Chain A
Amino acid sequence: MNRSWVSKFAGLVLVLTLITTSLVAGTYAKYVTEVSGSDTVTVAKWSAVVDESTTAGAITFDLFDTSADTGVVDGLIAPGTEGSFALNYNTTGTQVAHNLLISMDVAAAIETVDNFAFYSDASHTAELVASGGAIQLLNADFAAGTTTDGAINVYWAWPFENAPGGTLNDAADTVDGVTPVTGAAVTLNFTATQLTSAP
């Protein structure tokens, strides 16, 4: 009985030895070169800020501030009013190529006011004309890492009177005042979009 148990144990040891030998034999029996590498992954940053704090959604602009004009009720436009507004944008820190698109939707009713106009310059020489109800103010591509910190300025004016010798607009202005446009919307749209390749 004892002999039989010993024989079985010896056989088991033999089998286990053969198995483990095949598993560890490589450690001692062939050439081995081991190389390991490591890295970390970091997501490219995206930063797009409008007017210093807004990063998404809708904001309210006061585009037509006429409070400094003593000749018209505050908040309204009339011949002799003028002003400007700016949309500040900042994508500094963005680590991907991107496109910036800034446009301004202008209600059709505003275009019926004959002598009111938007301009891209303070001297009112470069008029911004709406096409299809919108004025494109910026459409530019930027490479990854490019600093894009700027502002789009829009000027508007309704001249009180024309230059000497020019055509007087009194009649048209008066008509626009008798049936005034009310509540015509102007919407500024800012969109920053990642580009799949460098511009």
Chain B
Amino acid sequence: MNRSWVSKFAGLVLVLTLITTSLVAGTYAKYVTTVSGSDTVTVAKWSAELDYNSAPVTDGFTFSLFDTAWEDSGVHETRLAPGTEGSFTLAYDMTGTQVAHSITIEMAAPGLATDLPFIVFKENNASGAAITLSTSGAINLTPGLEFGPDEATSGAAVVYWAWPFDNSNDAADTADGIAANSYPIAVTFSAIQLDTI
């Protein structure tokens, strides 16, 4: 019985093989031309890092002028007064970026510019060039920074600030001290891709 079944199955396989061979023979027997070509695509890298006083920060980071004040035993640690001074550094590192880009570091403190004009801001240190705040908006601390796609860029903006202790402005300083107002101050770092350069 088994032998008969095996014989029939073998016969069936043989018949099917003969039939399918004739059907697929054309697959190997007709004209066919195949050409393929390939390439790869790679996205240009974007790398922008901002350090505030040597610590990496991201969008929405907390900036406080008091953080940057040098130690002053004559005033509360989170208050400005005549005699306080300090500096802060905003550093950028675009190394690895493969597109053209611009760098902008802006500072806005319109209230200080209007009400506390005796506070001075200077580039780098006490003897640096004066930075004039805008009474209505932000000023660009790093104007003209544009770089090509192959330029690895890193740098920093250092801002020195001070409310001079002895400046013959006692009356005005005293008035400011009596008012003891709070004023917003903000810095904004922008690295923006440029379409062309």
**Chain B: interface residue total (CB-CB under 8 A):** 30
B26 at the interface (CB under 8 A from A): yes
Contact indicator per residue, chain B 21-50, by CB within 8 Å of chain A (1) or not (0): 000001000111111111111111111000
Q: Which residues of B contact A87 (CB under 8 A)?
A: 37
A sample of 7 cross-chain residue pairs with beta-carbon separation below 8 angstroms, ordered by A number, consists of: A54-B35, A78-B44, A177-B44, A177-B46, A190-B33, A193-B30, A193-B31
Q: Which residues of A contact B195 (CB under 8 A)?
A: 71, 79-80, 160
State the CA gap A189–B46 with chains docked (Å): 32
**Chain A: interface residue total (CB-CB under 8 A):** 54
Quote the shortest CB–CB distance from A29 to chain B (angstroms).
Answer: 49
Contact A46 B33 (CB under 8 A): yes
Question: Which of B39, B46, B99, B194 sits near A186, CB closer than 8 Å?
Answer: B39
State the CA gap A182–B43 with chains docked (Å): 6
Contact A61 B197 (CB under 8 A): no
B148 at the interface (CB under 8 A from A): yes
Contact A75 B42 (CB under 8 A): yes
B98 at the interface (CB under 8 A from A): yes
State the CA gap A59–B31 with chains docked (Å): 20
Q: Which residues of B contact A105 (CB under 8 A)?
A: 38
Quote the shortest CB–CB distance from A165 to chain B (angstroms).
Answer: 19
Q: Could you say which of A62, A73, A184, A189 has the most chain B C-beta atoms within 10 Å of its C-beta?
A: A73
